[in-house]
Structure 1
């Protein structure tokens, strides 16, 4: 227990919070029916969690250095558990979205402290083993999410995808308090609360604007006002970061092409690879008549390929230029998205399989390399900031990807259906429309909408690949150096203190 107890405790929290990124995907149609949720509500069920985590990751890590990493970790798990209970008891979409956002706050506290806690306990070879186990658990959570979500939704009901977190949280808190020692960062650190608030306003405002554009149009007054407020928040963030003593993000890093390239890759990656999945799940269940379990199993070609490639890639690609690993992986993700844009009124889920496999292969290349590439692209004293930034951009990219895909989907659907019907169909309400529209018309409209979303995501993936291949050169981020980068990540907060 003394040897591997801390790893078990940290991995329990990590598995739980990353599982909740994907576990809700296959439950969205059931949620929509039970809570009378609209498309916008469903988008925020997914995005509220990812956005809260993205907005607070850097701030939570800095706070943990001051208050104590174990303390913040435990508070995060408790908050996550309480929010999970509220999610499971939600009586309406507004309550569910709010509870999901609180879940994201707890998840940020947990995620920001996992690596520093491991780094304070394990050294040398044990640290490498602990890192490997933690990485495997992180990847496994995303793979298991849709399948477990399908089993729980089809079995006891969708609310149990949240209730299942409660016993896991109890064990995680008990084990953490018992076997994980407290640790803090060096003295003199400060939390950039103004920067945290400004960044949250920018991230949330931008995502809200994209979601609103799908409902009201890109040129609507409300949409333009939302974009304007998001831009104002971004300006405030830049001003704060230039003046504060301990910024969340040192803007001078943006002068480094490699850092910019890696951040662009991180932002695009999660959105391109996973942004459409929520809508393909709705399509498969509400129009193809698949059960939640079968809907989750259809994603196994992607998740299976990702796990296999990630395991083999760590052994076979050591020393390969990281720009090729990340750039090539993003190119595969983009091409895989293009390959899925082949749907028609008579298509089944099998039409997605070749593209899903390509996306999985690309994911297996990109995901393990991003963190190390971010650390290698900056000076050692900025490694903590770079590690937090890459995770922040990944979560923000996922939230934006879901929002953009929903907007593109409904915009294309309106070519064949009235506005309200398009939003109802995209939100899982095909059953309510069958008395008004024929089955062929509904399937054709949804298929065309998905095709457009796949094309947009494919273009974003290819563009991001080009940026990475162009910007990530030999200025410190040329080679993967997975092992060394992992060790650097574990020391991230201590290095940040030596700014």
Structure 2
């Protein structure tokens, strides 16, 4: 326990925070029914978590270097547990969305400190073993999330997908306090609070604008005002990062085409691979009539294939340039997602299987190589910043993807249903529409059309991003393809 206790403690937290990205997907229809939630509410249940994680990851990581990484990690677990309890007890969509945002803040504190904590404990061969197991746990969390979510939703109820975090949090806190030593980075480094705030405002305003545009219209005054706030916040972030002594993100690094390509790939990755899945889950359960467990199993081929490919490919593809695995992986993700755009009124879940498997292969190639490619495109002293930026862009891509693709799903239903009915159907309201007299064939045709529209766009994004990586990411330094940025250097005590 003394040797591997820190690894178990850190892996518990990582498993929990990554599980909560996917475990919610199959529970969306039950949440909508229990809380009378709209489509935009469901989008925010997903995006509130991802946005908080993306917006605060870099800032909290920098703060942890000064305050103590173990201290911030434990604080993150405590906050995550309290927010999970609030999610499980939520009586309205607004309460659930707010609690999910707080949950994302706790997740950011855990995720930002995970690798530095492991790097401070393990050296040499033990470090390689620890990081390999940590990577396997990370992949497993995403793979089993839909199935665990289905089992809990169909069993004790959807609220237990949040309650289950409580005993895991207690175990993680106890193990961390007993086995993980404290570590710190450079204490003379000032925190970039202005950069953290402006980036968070940009991400939140941009996502809110896209979500609301689906119901209010892209040219409405409210939508344009929200996008205006996002643009101003982004400009403010750029100004701050150019002037502050210790920026969250050194913008000069983006003069390198290689880093631009990697970040474009990271931004597109999660959105292209996973952005359609929440709406697919709603279709499977509310239109096709699958149970939550069956719905989870139906989308499992993507995550399960990704897990196997990542585990096997890590050995077989050792030494292959990251740009090739990422570029080809994104093209496969795009092709697989395009392959899911084959639905009709009479289609069922097997129609998705080939596309999900192909997208899963691409996901398994991309996931372990992204951080290595980011490292290869920047100087060694900026490795930690590049690795943190990759994780930030991935989560931001998922948040944007869920928001944009949700709008496309409803717009794709427009030929069959009115705008109001499209939003109700995408939000899990098929039963109510049936009761109102809408024919079953019309519901099936509309949802299939909406999913096809979203899958075509997501697939095209994946293919274009893959081509960008292949063209822009060149000339990696030998030995720079390690998938762990800060873990290559033990932090200062």
TM tier, shorter chain?
A: over 0.9
Q: What is the SS of the residue equivalent to 2:421?
A: helix
Note if contact 1:340-1:451 (Cα within 8 Å) is conserved in structure 2: yes
The answer to whether 1:287 aligns with 2:267 is: no
**CA separation in 1, counterparts of 2:43 and 2:291?**
21
Partner deviation per Cα, 1:309-340 (whole Å, 9 max, x = no partner)? 11111111111121110000000000001100
Note if contact 2:54-2:391 (Cα within 8 Å) is conserved in structure 1: yes
Aligned to 1:429: 429
Note if contact 1:385-1:492 (Cα within 8 Å) is conserved in structure 2: no
- CA-based RMSD of the aligned residues comes to 1.3
Q: What is the SS of the residue equivalent to 2:367?
A: helix
Structure 1 segments unaligned to the other structure (5+ residues): none
Aligned to 1:103: 103
**CA separation in 2, counterparts of 1:249 and 1:439?**
51
Q: What is the SS of the residue equivalent to 2:338?
A: helix
Note if contact 1:318-1:481 (Cα within 8 Å) is conserved in structure 2: no
Aligned to 2:16: 16
Partner deviation per Cα, 1:268-298 (whole Å, 9 max, x = no partner)? 0000000000000000000000000000011
Q: Aligned-pair distance for 1:220?
A: 1.3
Aligned to 2:440: 439
Q: Aligned-pair distance for 1:250?
A: 0.2
Aligned to 2:138: 138
Assess, with a 3 A threshold, how the Cα gap between structure 1 residues 493 and 66 changes in structure 2: closer, same or farther.
farther
Aligned to 2:365: 365
221-230 vs 84-93, which moves further: 221-230
**CA separation in 2, counterparts of 1:423 and 1:480?**
50
**CA separation in 2, counterparts of 1:463 and 1:65?**
37
Q: Aligned-pair distance for 1:491?
A: 4.2
Assess, with a 3 A threshold, how the Cα gap between structure 1 residues 366 and 480 changes in structure 2: closer, same or farther.
farther
Q: Aligned-pair distance for 1:222?
A: 1.1
Structure 2 segments unaligned to the other structure (5+ residues): none
Note if contact 2:49-2:104 (Cα within 8 Å) is conserved in structure 1: yes
**CA separation in 1, counterparts of 2:277 and 2:266?**
18
Note if contact 1:373-1:480 (Cα within 8 Å) is conserved in structure 2: no
Note if contact 1:410-1:422 (Cα within 8 Å) is conserved in structure 2: yes
The answer to whether 1:466 aligns with 2:467 is: yes
Aligned to 2:35: 35
Partner deviation per Cα, 1:168-218 (whole Å, 9 max, x = no partner)? 000000110011000111231121110000000111111111111111111
Task: Figure out how many residues of one structure are paired with residues of the other and give that number.
Answer: 492
The answer to whether 1:4 aligns with 2:4 is: yes
Q: Aligned-pair distance for 1:489?
A: 3.1
**CA separation in 2, counterparts of 1:115 and 1:312?**
22
131-140 vs 292-301, which moves further: 292-301
Partner deviation per Cα, 1:334-363 (whole Å, 9 max, x = no partner)? 000110000000000000000000010000
Q: What is the SS of the residue equivalent to 1:368?
A: coil
Aligned to 1:224: 224
Aligned to 1:457: 458
Aligned to 1:385: 385
Q: What is the SS of the residue equivalent to 1:224?
A: helix
Aligned to 2:64: 64
Aligned to 2:487: 490
**CA separation in 2, counterparts of 1:455 and 1:493?**
45
Note if contact 1:330-1:465 (Cα within 8 Å) is conserved in structure 2: yes
Note if contact 2:32-2:38 (Cα within 8 Å) is conserved in structure 1: yes
Q: Aligned-pair distance for 1:494?
A: 5.0
Aligned to 1:191: 191
After superposition, residues 248-397 of structure 1 pair within 5 angstroms as: 248-397=248-397
Q: What is the SS of the residue equivalent to 2:168?
A: helix
Note if contact 2:369-2:483 (Cα within 8 Å) is conserved in structure 1: no
Q: What is the SS of the residue equivalent to 1:248?
A: coil
Aligned to 1:76: 76
Note if contact 1:375-1:489 (Cα within 8 Å) is conserved in structure 2: no
135-144 vs 466-475, which moves further: 466-475
Q: What is the SS of the residue equivalent to 1:131?
A: helix
Q: Which ranges of 4 or more aligned residues in structure 1 deviate by more than 6 Å? A: none
Q: Aligned-pair distance for 1:493?
A: 8.8
Q: TM-score, normalised by structure 2?
A: 0.98
Q: Aligned-pair distance for 1:300?
A: 2.1
**CA separation in 1, counterparts of 2:349 and 2:219?**
35
Note if contact 2:28-2:282 (Cα within 8 Å) is conserved in structure 1: yes
453-462 vs 415-424, which moves further: 415-424
Aligned to 2:55: 55
Partner deviation per Cα, 1:341-391 (whole Å, 9 max, x = no partner)? 000000000000000000100000000000111111110110110011000
**CA separation in 2, counterparts of 1:315 and 1:31?**
41
Q: What is the SS of the residue equivalent to 1:298?
A: helix
**CA separation in 2, counterparts of 1:272 and 1:485?**
22
Q: What is the SS of the residue equivalent to 1:299?
A: helix
**CA separation in 2, counterparts of 1:385 and 1:360?**
28
**CA separation in 1, counterparts of 2:84 and 2:488?**
31
Partner deviation per Cα, 1:89-123 (whole Å, 9 max, x = no partner)? 00000000000000000000000000000000000
Note if contact 1:320-1:480 (Cα within 8 Å) is conserved in structure 2: no
Aligned to 1:413: 413
Note if contact 1:205-1:226 (Cα within 8 Å) is conserved in structure 2: yes
Aligned to 1:211: 211
Note if contact 1:14-1:114 (Cα within 8 Å) is conserved in structure 2: yes
Aligned to 1:171: 171
